[in-house]
A and B are shown apart, each in its own frame.
Chain A
Amino acid sequence: MEGLLFNVNNGYIEGIVRGYRNSLLTTPAYNNLTQCETIDDLKLQLGPAYGDFLASLPPNPSTSALASKTTDKLISEFRYVRANATGALAQFMDYVTYGYMIDNVALLITGTLHERDTRELLERCHPLGWFETMPVLCVATNVEELYNSVLIETPLAPYFKGSLSHQDLDELNIEIVRNTLYKNYLEDFYKFVNTHSEMAGTPTAEVMSNILEFEADRRAINITLNSFGTELTKADRNKLYPTFGKLYPEGTLMLSRADDVEGVRLAVDGVHDYKTFFDAVSLGGSGGPGNMGGGSTDGKSLEDMFYQKEMEISKDAFTRQFTYAIVYAWVKLREQEIRNITWIAECIAQNQKDRIGNFISVF
């Protein structure tokens, strides 16, 4: 059924995105990149993929400049796709940007809390998370004003409503605010893809559910691991877990009770993928999970494996046709590519070649 009418509205977009996907760097291309001696070489090697965007960089650019230029390409492509999208796809793409908006809003809230000039923060915001009313956020001078008159106008308002009051913004750690928003966002996104009339029961719902469930689980596990040894209580922690995903509800309940890495391992035991991650990490065993590579060069951390898994899921999304999920998958793949390029550039710039192979390439 979905194949019948999908291309009427979305065929062009799908074609474009698949084209973009083909221009992603492949493993041989990455191998070439790792052989580079200087950033200039790297720039040259990136020429075919990023030519126009890197052209304006000065010789031997900084890695952050490189990263921002490569992000620029993603942004301009995303904007092009967004401009051509209609109907449900447009809405879907807006949902994709909400994640970045949360980061931007968190940044602005931090600025307002500390009474900084938030205007200069606008430049630091992620362009994908840009929304029209964002500069208005800078008008607010205190948190209450920000909450009552401004945040309500943003697309994120539903995520604030009901779970955060303006006192919370003041008192809670900004990270908790951010993660609460993100939890609400993930749940809303999940609901959106599964209930929207054009998406429910289509491959989009299927693939996106898979991706979002993974994302939810990853966040739950990460929050648990990262909260050990901080003032975050177990009850508060429990509030940050999204209420869906493969781990929900038994796994998240156990996660909320976990006191150490071992507890997390027990909690995720029911899900095969995560169990293997934990087993591999404990076998590699240098410095515990989350410790990217630690001392050994090929030891993968949990974080790495999650990224790897995310990339594989994203890659698999392209095996399905007539789905919006490829847009999401493409954004994620491109983001990982930017991270990879930045990583390789850092390794080259800092002359730490032994860890240069620590990027994730799925093509």
Chain B
Amino acid sequence: MSGAADREAVFPTRQSLGIMKAKLKGAETGHSLLKRKSEALTKRFREITRRIDEAKRKMGRVMQIAAFSLAEVSYAVGGDIGYQVQESAKSARFRIRTKQDNVSGVLLPAFESFLTEGNNDFGLTGLGKGGQQVQRCRETYARAVEALVELASLQTAFVILDEVIKVVNRRVNAIEHVIIPRTENTIKYINSELDELDREEFYRLKKVANKKQRDNAAADAEMKAKREAAGNNNTAAGADDSGPADILAAEDDDDVIF
């Protein structure tokens, strides 16, 4: 922190010192809040990472079973049913809805899958042979898609959280390493400037006081000389009034300026 360079452009006044102090306090509170937020997010992030790992393993297994059940279908039906299934599917049976999850102010979309009942578009596929395999294969694939949906919602949360954590950490670091030191510097600078002013003022006062003393001394000496001269003149006239008359005579004393 090279002192003067890294501070805010303010005039070193008492008012801005007050503003800076308030700012520092705010920055510290914000820092601790953000730090806590970042920790909460990181915790959630770790949990999601773990769940993604689990979901991916599960998906591997489920997809394998699903692919195998498709092999069973092609064995039982003895032909390609893909086209027929594709054409007879009219409306989606497996749907997802999204809802939002709030993790310390971050909105994470979560996908939730559900089956629409009574929607069995290709229930008759493989009527002659292999129908059961087709249905079973469909169920297996429905499970596979379920796993995929879960994984998708986790992955989305992962990406969003990652982004948010980055932003929050950047803010925390910015506050910790830039804003707080800068404010502190500014405060220090204002303080030092104010001190400097104080010292200057004090020095000036001292100078003034010195000069005053000197002037006073000179004036005293002059007065004394005058009085002696007058004393010499008035010794005969009246030595008694000299005391009280003296005090009154000091009327036009200079104002003392501090």
Interface residues of A (CB under 8 A from B): 63, 67, 103, 106-107, 110-111, 113-114, 116, 121, 124, 126, 173-176, 178-179, 182, 218-219, 222-223, 225-227, 229-232, 240, 288-292, 303, 335, 339, 342-343, 346-347, 350, 352, 355
Interface residues of B (CB under 8 A from A): 64, 67-68, 71-72, 74-76, 78-80, 83-84, 87-88, 120, 123-133, 136
| A331 CB, nearest partner CB in chain B, Å | 12
Do B75 and A339 have beta carbons less than 8 Å apart? Answer: yes
Residues of B near A343 (CB, < 8 A) are 71, 75
Complex formed: what's the CA distance from A228 to B72 in Å?
21
- Contact status of A303 and B130, CB under 8 A, knowing A174-B88, A292-B75: yes
Complex formed: what's the CA distance from A294 to B106 in Å?
45
Do A303 and B88 have beta carbons less than 8 Å apart? Answer: no
Do B87 and A116 have beta carbons less than 8 Å apart? Answer: yes
Residues of B near A352 (CB, < 8 A) are 64, 68
Identify the closest chain B residue to A183 (Cβ): B128
| A181 CB, nearest partner CB in chain B, Å | 10
Do A182 and B128 have beta carbons less than 8 Å apart? Answer: yes
Do B75 and A226 have beta carbons less than 8 Å apart? Answer: no
Complex formed: what's the CA distance from A132 to B133 in Å?
33
Do B71 and A227 have beta carbons less than 8 Å apart? Answer: no
Residues of B near A67 (CB, < 8 A) are 74
Identify the closest chain B residue to A290 (Cβ): B132
| Interface SS majority for chain B | helix
Do A222 and B79 have beta carbons less than 8 Å apart? Answer: no
Complex formed: what's the CA distance from A347 to B70 in Å?
12
| A169 CB, nearest partner CB in chain B, Å | 14
New A-B pairs, 20, CB < 8 Å, besides A103-B79, A291-B136, A339-B75: A110-B84, A121-B83, A175-B127, A175-B128, A176-B124, A176-B127, A219-B128, A222-B127, A222-B131, A227-B124, A229-B120, A229-B123, A231-B123, A232-B127, A291-B132, A292-B72, A292-B76, A342-B75, A347-B71, A355-B68
Q: Contact partner of B83 among A124, A178, A355, CB < 8 A?
A: A124
Residues of A near B128 (CB, < 8 A) are 175, 178-179, 182, 219, 222-223
Identify the closest chain B residue to A294 (Cβ): B136
12 examples of A-B residue contacts, CB within 8 angstroms = A67-B74, A110-B83, A110-B87, A179-B128, A223-B127, A225-B131, A226-B124, A226-B126, A226-B131, A229-B123, A292-B72, A347-B71
Complex formed: what's the CA distance from A289 to B87 in Å?
27
Complex formed: what's the CA distance from A3 to B79 in Å?
38
Complex formed: what's the CA distance from A142 to B67 in Å?
36
Do A335 and B124 have beta carbons less than 8 Å apart? Answer: no
Complex formed: what's the CA distance from A222 to B88 in Å?
20
| A65 CB, nearest partner CB in chain B, Å | 13
- Contact status of A174 and B129, CB under 8 A, knowing A292-B72, A350-B68: no
Complex formed: what's the CA distance from A182 to B127 in Å?
11
Identify the closest chain B residue to A335 (Cβ): B78
Complex formed: what's the CA distance from A112 to B219 in Å?
126
Do B129 and A342 have beta carbons less than 8 Å apart? Answer: no
| B129 CB, nearest partner CB in chain A, Å | 5
Complex formed: what's the CA distance from A223 to B64 in Å?
29
Complex formed: what's the CA distance from A227 to B71 in Å?
22
Do A219 and B124 have beta carbons less than 8 Å apart? Answer: no
| B2 CB, nearest partner CB in chain A, Å | 65
Complex formed: what's the CA distance from A182 to B129 in Å?
12
Residues of A near B125 (CB, < 8 A) are 175
Residues of B near A107 (CB, < 8 A) are 83-84
- Contact status of A227 and B84, CB under 8 A, knowing A339-B75, A350-B67, A350-B71: no
The interface centre, meaning the residue of B67, B83, B124 with most chain A CB atoms within 10 A of its CB, is: B124
